[in-house]
Amino acid sequence: MRVLRSIYQGLDDRYQLTPLIEKNVTRKWVPRTLGWSACFGGLALLVFLIQVFTGILLLIYYKPDPGRAWDSVTFIKSNVPMGWLIQRVHVVGANVMIALVLMHMARIAYFKIYRSPRELHWVSGVVLLSLTVFLAFTGYLLPWTNLSYWGASVGTEIPGAIPFVGEHVVTWARRGPGISGETLGFFFAMHIWVLPAGLVIFMAMHFAMIRRTGISRPL
Ligand code: HEM
Protein backbone atom coordinates (compact mmCIF):
# COMPACT_ATOMS: atom_id res chain seq x y z
CA MET A 1 0.00 0.00 0.00
CA ARG A 2 2.78 2.39 0.98
CA VAL A 3 4.58 1.68 -2.32
CA LEU A 4 1.39 2.42 -4.29
CA ARG A 5 0.82 5.61 -2.30
CA SER A 6 4.35 6.86 -2.99
CA ILE A 7 4.01 6.01 -6.71
CA TYR A 8 0.73 7.96 -6.78
CA GLN A 9 2.33 10.84 -4.83
CA GLY A 10 5.20 10.98 -7.33
CA LEU A 11 2.78 11.11 -10.28
CA ASP A 12 0.54 13.61 -8.49
CA ASP A 13 3.48 15.97 -7.80
CA ARG A 14 4.37 15.93 -11.48
CA TYR A 15 0.97 15.89 -13.18
CA GLN A 16 -1.48 17.26 -10.54
CA LEU A 17 -3.79 14.23 -10.77
CA THR A 18 -5.79 14.91 -7.58
CA PRO A 19 -7.64 18.05 -8.81
CA LEU A 20 -8.38 16.25 -12.10
CA ILE A 21 -9.84 13.18 -10.32
CA GLU A 22 -11.78 15.39 -7.88
CA LYS A 23 -13.27 17.50 -10.67
CA ASN A 24 -14.30 14.54 -12.83
CA VAL A 25 -14.99 11.70 -10.38
CA THR A 26 -14.95 12.07 -6.60
CA ARG A 27 -16.39 15.62 -6.39
CA LYS A 28 -18.41 15.58 -9.60
CA TRP A 29 -21.79 17.10 -8.89
CA VAL A 30 -24.94 15.60 -10.34
CA PRO A 31 -28.51 16.84 -9.88
CA ARG A 32 -30.06 15.77 -6.57
CA THR A 33 -33.31 14.96 -8.39
CA LEU A 34 -31.70 12.51 -10.84
CA GLY A 35 -33.29 9.40 -9.30
CA TRP A 36 -32.23 5.75 -9.30
CA SER A 37 -33.16 5.14 -12.94
CA ALA A 38 -30.17 7.29 -14.01
CA CYS A 39 -27.80 4.44 -13.08
CA PHE A 40 -28.64 2.13 -16.02
CA GLY A 41 -26.16 3.71 -18.49
CA GLY A 42 -23.32 3.51 -15.98
CA LEU A 43 -24.26 -0.08 -15.09
CA ALA A 44 -24.26 -1.01 -18.81
CA LEU A 45 -20.70 0.34 -18.98
CA LEU A 46 -19.71 -1.66 -15.87
CA VAL A 47 -21.15 -4.89 -17.33
CA PHE A 48 -19.33 -4.19 -20.64
CA LEU A 49 -16.03 -3.98 -18.71
CA ILE A 50 -16.85 -7.29 -16.95
CA GLN A 51 -17.57 -8.83 -20.38
CA VAL A 52 -14.18 -7.67 -21.69
CA PHE A 53 -12.42 -9.11 -18.64
CA THR A 54 -14.20 -12.50 -18.69
CA GLY A 55 -13.97 -12.63 -22.52
CA ILE A 56 -10.17 -12.26 -22.40
CA LEU A 57 -9.98 -15.12 -19.86
CA LEU A 58 -12.20 -17.35 -22.06
CA LEU A 59 -9.97 -16.61 -25.06
CA ILE A 60 -7.05 -18.36 -23.35
CA TYR A 61 -8.76 -21.75 -23.96
CA TYR A 62 -11.39 -21.14 -26.65
CA LYS A 63 -10.65 -22.50 -30.18
CA PRO A 64 -12.56 -20.86 -33.08
CA ASP A 65 -12.57 -24.05 -35.15
CA PRO A 66 -15.70 -26.13 -35.96
CA GLY A 67 -13.92 -29.36 -34.94
CA ARG A 68 -12.69 -27.97 -31.59
CA ALA A 69 -14.98 -25.10 -30.51
CA TRP A 70 -17.52 -27.22 -28.62
CA ASP A 71 -14.77 -29.30 -26.96
CA SER A 72 -12.90 -26.17 -25.90
CA VAL A 73 -15.99 -24.66 -24.25
CA THR A 74 -16.73 -27.97 -22.50
CA PHE A 75 -13.11 -28.05 -21.34
CA ILE A 76 -13.45 -24.51 -19.92
CA LYS A 77 -16.66 -25.46 -18.11
CA SER A 78 -15.45 -28.73 -16.61
CA ASN A 79 -11.63 -28.72 -16.39
CA VAL A 80 -10.36 -25.16 -16.07
CA PRO A 81 -10.28 -23.91 -12.44
CA MET A 82 -13.19 -21.43 -12.04
CA GLY A 83 -13.79 -21.80 -15.80
CA TRP A 84 -17.49 -22.60 -15.27
CA LEU A 85 -17.87 -19.37 -13.29
CA ILE A 86 -16.11 -17.18 -15.86
CA GLN A 87 -18.15 -18.76 -18.68
CA ARG A 88 -21.46 -18.32 -16.77
CA VAL A 89 -20.68 -14.71 -15.87
CA HIS A 90 -19.93 -14.01 -19.56
CA VAL A 91 -23.20 -15.59 -20.76
CA VAL A 92 -25.38 -13.98 -18.07
CA GLY A 93 -23.50 -10.68 -18.52
CA ALA A 94 -24.46 -10.57 -22.22
CA ASN A 95 -28.16 -10.81 -21.33
CA VAL A 96 -27.87 -8.35 -18.45
CA MET A 97 -26.07 -5.83 -20.67
CA ILE A 98 -28.86 -5.91 -23.28
CA ALA A 99 -31.49 -5.54 -20.54
CA LEU A 100 -29.64 -2.57 -18.99
CA VAL A 101 -29.20 -0.81 -22.34
CA LEU A 102 -32.92 -1.26 -23.06
CA MET A 103 -33.87 0.06 -19.58
CA HIS A 104 -31.48 3.02 -20.07
CA MET A 105 -33.11 3.73 -23.45
CA ALA A 106 -36.63 3.41 -22.00
CA ARG A 107 -35.78 6.00 -19.32
CA ILE A 108 -34.45 8.42 -21.96
CA ALA A 109 -37.64 7.91 -23.99
CA TYR A 110 -39.96 8.22 -20.96
CA PHE A 111 -38.45 11.50 -19.73
CA LYS A 112 -38.07 12.78 -23.33
CA ILE A 113 -34.35 13.40 -22.74
CA TYR A 114 -33.65 12.75 -26.45
CA ARG A 115 -34.90 16.27 -27.30
CA SER A 116 -32.59 19.13 -28.27
CA PRO A 117 -29.67 19.49 -27.51
CA ARG A 118 -29.36 15.71 -26.93
CA GLU A 119 -30.54 14.29 -30.29
CA LEU A 120 -27.06 13.00 -31.17
CA HIS A 121 -26.71 11.34 -27.74
CA TRP A 122 -29.77 9.33 -28.80
CA VAL A 123 -28.38 8.57 -32.28
CA SER A 124 -25.05 7.38 -30.83
CA GLY A 125 -27.12 5.36 -28.33
CA VAL A 126 -29.01 3.59 -31.13
CA VAL A 127 -25.65 2.60 -32.66
CA LEU A 128 -24.53 1.34 -29.22
CA LEU A 129 -27.71 -0.73 -28.86
CA SER A 130 -27.21 -2.28 -32.32
CA LEU A 131 -23.55 -3.07 -31.60
CA THR A 132 -24.53 -4.66 -28.25
CA VAL A 133 -27.16 -6.88 -29.92
CA PHE A 134 -24.73 -7.94 -32.67
CA LEU A 135 -22.09 -8.67 -30.04
CA ALA A 136 -24.47 -11.06 -28.25
CA PHE A 137 -25.62 -12.60 -31.54
CA THR A 138 -22.09 -13.32 -32.80
CA GLY A 139 -21.10 -14.70 -29.37
CA TYR A 140 -24.05 -17.12 -29.42
CA LEU A 141 -22.52 -19.06 -32.35
CA LEU A 142 -19.12 -19.52 -30.72
CA PRO A 143 -19.87 -22.63 -28.53
CA TRP A 144 -20.90 -24.34 -31.80
CA THR A 145 -23.87 -26.21 -30.28
CA ASN A 146 -27.04 -27.21 -32.15
CA LEU A 147 -28.80 -24.22 -30.63
CA SER A 148 -26.09 -21.80 -31.69
CA TYR A 149 -25.99 -23.29 -35.19
CA TRP A 150 -29.74 -22.86 -35.71
CA GLY A 151 -29.75 -19.50 -33.93
CA ALA A 152 -27.18 -18.18 -36.40
CA SER A 153 -29.02 -19.85 -39.27
CA VAL A 154 -32.34 -18.15 -38.45
CA GLY A 155 -30.72 -14.85 -37.43
CA THR A 156 -28.70 -14.46 -40.62
CA GLU A 157 -31.82 -15.22 -42.66
CA ILE A 158 -33.56 -12.05 -41.41
CA PRO A 159 -31.77 -9.56 -43.72
CA GLY A 160 -32.92 -11.78 -46.63
CA ALA A 161 -36.21 -9.85 -46.46
CA ILE A 162 -34.50 -6.62 -47.58
CA PRO A 163 -35.59 -5.93 -51.19
CA PHE A 164 -32.99 -6.44 -53.98
CA VAL A 165 -29.84 -6.79 -51.81
CA GLY A 166 -31.23 -9.16 -49.13
CA GLU A 167 -29.73 -12.37 -50.58
CA HIS A 168 -26.29 -10.75 -50.88
CA VAL A 169 -26.40 -9.58 -47.27
CA VAL A 170 -27.29 -13.13 -46.11
CA THR A 171 -24.41 -14.65 -48.10
CA TRP A 172 -22.06 -11.94 -46.84
CA ALA A 173 -23.04 -12.49 -43.18
CA ARG A 174 -22.64 -16.28 -43.51
CA ARG A 175 -19.49 -16.09 -45.64
CA GLY A 176 -21.19 -18.55 -48.00
CA PRO A 177 -24.59 -20.12 -48.66
CA GLY A 178 -24.95 -21.75 -45.20
CA ILE A 179 -23.51 -21.71 -41.67
CA SER A 180 -20.01 -23.23 -41.80
CA GLY A 181 -16.53 -22.96 -40.35
CA GLU A 182 -16.15 -19.76 -42.40
CA THR A 183 -19.12 -18.26 -40.53
CA LEU A 184 -17.59 -19.27 -37.21
CA GLY A 185 -14.28 -17.56 -38.07
CA PHE A 186 -16.10 -14.42 -39.25
CA PHE A 187 -18.35 -14.23 -36.17
CA PHE A 188 -15.33 -14.82 -33.93
CA ALA A 189 -13.42 -11.90 -35.48
CA MET A 190 -16.50 -9.68 -35.18
CA HIS A 191 -17.11 -10.79 -31.58
CA ILE A 192 -13.63 -10.25 -30.20
CA TRP A 193 -12.39 -7.27 -32.24
CA VAL A 194 -14.66 -5.35 -34.57
CA LEU A 195 -17.81 -4.99 -32.43
CA PRO A 196 -16.04 -4.30 -29.08
CA ALA A 197 -13.82 -1.72 -30.83
CA GLY A 198 -16.95 -0.12 -32.33
CA LEU A 199 -18.55 -0.04 -28.88
CA VAL A 200 -15.49 1.63 -27.35
CA ILE A 201 -15.42 4.29 -30.10
CA PHE A 202 -19.15 5.06 -29.86
CA MET A 203 -19.09 4.99 -26.04
CA ALA A 204 -16.27 7.55 -26.12
CA MET A 205 -18.42 9.75 -28.40
CA HIS A 206 -21.51 9.16 -26.21
CA PHE A 207 -19.66 10.16 -23.04
CA ALA A 208 -17.96 13.17 -24.67
CA MET A 209 -21.38 14.46 -25.79
CA ILE A 210 -22.84 13.95 -22.29
CA ARG A 211 -19.91 15.87 -20.80
CA ARG A 212 -20.45 18.76 -23.24
CA THR A 213 -24.20 19.17 -22.68
CA GLY A 214 -24.15 18.09 -19.04
CA ILE A 215 -26.62 15.56 -17.76
CA SER A 216 -30.28 16.50 -18.25
CA ARG A 217 -32.00 18.58 -15.52
CA PRO A 218 -30.37 21.72 -14.11
CA LEU A 219 -27.72 21.42 -11.42
C1 HEM B 1 -23.62 0.28 -24.49
C2 HEM B 1 -24.67 1.07 -24.40
C3 HEM B 1 -24.74 2.37 -23.60
C4 HEM B 1 -23.95 2.84 -22.57
C5 HEM B 1 -22.75 2.14 -21.91
C6 HEM B 1 -24.46 4.14 -22.20
C7 HEM B 1 -23.96 4.91 -21.16
C8 HEM B 1 -24.49 6.13 -20.76
C9 HEM B 1 -24.13 6.84 -19.56
C10 HEM B 1 -23.10 6.37 -18.52
C11 HEM B 1 -24.87 7.99 -19.51
C12 HEM B 1 -24.87 9.08 -18.40
C13 HEM B 1 -25.77 8.63 -17.24
C14 HEM B 1 -27.19 8.30 -17.63
O15 HEM B 1 -27.97 9.18 -18.03
O16 HEM B 1 -27.54 7.09 -17.55
C17 HEM B 1 -25.69 8.02 -20.70
C18 HEM B 1 -26.56 9.06 -21.05
C19 HEM B 1 -27.37 9.08 -22.18
N20 HEM B 1 -27.59 8.02 -23.04
FE21 HEM B 1 -26.58 6.26 -23.02
N22 HEM B 1 -25.53 4.45 -23.01
C23 HEM B 1 -25.74 3.40 -23.87
C24 HEM B 1 -26.75 3.28 -24.79
C25 HEM B 1 -27.71 4.26 -25.06
C26 HEM B 1 -28.88 4.10 -25.89
C27 HEM B 1 -29.28 2.78 -26.56
C28 HEM B 1 -29.51 5.31 -25.94
C29 HEM B 1 -30.75 5.69 -26.71
C30 HEM B 1 -31.04 5.25 -27.89
C31 HEM B 1 -28.77 6.25 -25.13
C32 HEM B 1 -29.04 7.60 -24.97
C33 HEM B 1 -28.52 8.41 -23.98
C34 HEM B 1 -28.89 9.81 -23.74
C35 HEM B 1 -29.89 10.64 -24.55
C36 HEM B 1 -28.17 10.22 -22.61
C37 HEM B 1 -28.21 11.61 -21.92
C38 HEM B 1 -28.93 11.47 -20.61
C39 HEM B 1 -29.03 12.79 -19.87
O40 HEM B 1 -28.48 13.80 -20.29
O41 HEM B 1 -29.68 12.75 -18.80
N42 HEM B 1 -27.69 5.57 -24.59
N43 HEM B 1 -25.46 6.89 -21.43
The DSSP secondary structure of the chain, one letter per residue, reads -HHHHHHHHHHHHHH-HHHHHIIIIIT----TT--GGGGHHHHHHHHHHHHHHHHHHHHTT---STTTHHHHHHHHHHTSTTHHHHHHHHHHHHHHHHHHHHHHHHHHHHTTTTSTT-HHHHHHHHHHHHHHHHHHHHHHHTT--HHHHHHHHHHHHGGGGSTTTHHHHHHHHHTSSS--HHHHHHHHHIIIIIHHHHHHHHHHHHHHHHHHH-SSS--
Q: Tell me the pTM.
A: 0.92
CA–CA dist 205, 107 (Å, integer): 20
CA–CA dist 19, 193 (Å, integer): 35
Cα of 39 from ligand 1 centre, angstroms: 10
| Cβ-count burial 81-97 (b if 16+ within 10 Å, e if not) | eebeebbebbeebbebb
Ligand 1 atom closest to the Cα of residue 199 is: 1
- Give the chain's domains with CATH numbers: 34-213 (1.20.810.10)
CA-CA distances (angstroms) from residue 213 to 68, 172, 217? 49, 39, 11
pLDDT of residue 164: 97
CA–CA dist 172, 178 (Å, integer): 10
Phi, psi (degrees; rounded to nearest 5) at 176: 150, -175
The number of residues making up the chain comes to: 219
pLDDT of residue 218: 59
pLDDT of residue 33: 83
Ligand 1 atom closest to the Cα of residue 109 is: 29
Q: How many CA atoms lie within 13 A of 85 on its CB side?
A: 3
Q: Which among 30, 32, 103, 108 is the best mutation to test ligand 1's pocket, defined by most ligand atoms within 8 Å of the CB?
A: 108
CB atoms within 10 A of CB 18: 13
pLDDT of residue 217: 76
pLDDT along the chain (219 residues), means of 10: 96 97 89 89 98 98 98 98 98 98 97 95 98 98 98 98 98 98 98 98 97 82
Q: Whose CA is nearest to atom 6 of ligand 1?
A: 41
Q: Which among 121, 199, 212 is the best mutation to test ligand 1's pocket, defined by most ligand atoms within 8 Å of the CB?
A: 121
Cα of 7 from ligand 1 centre, angstroms: 35
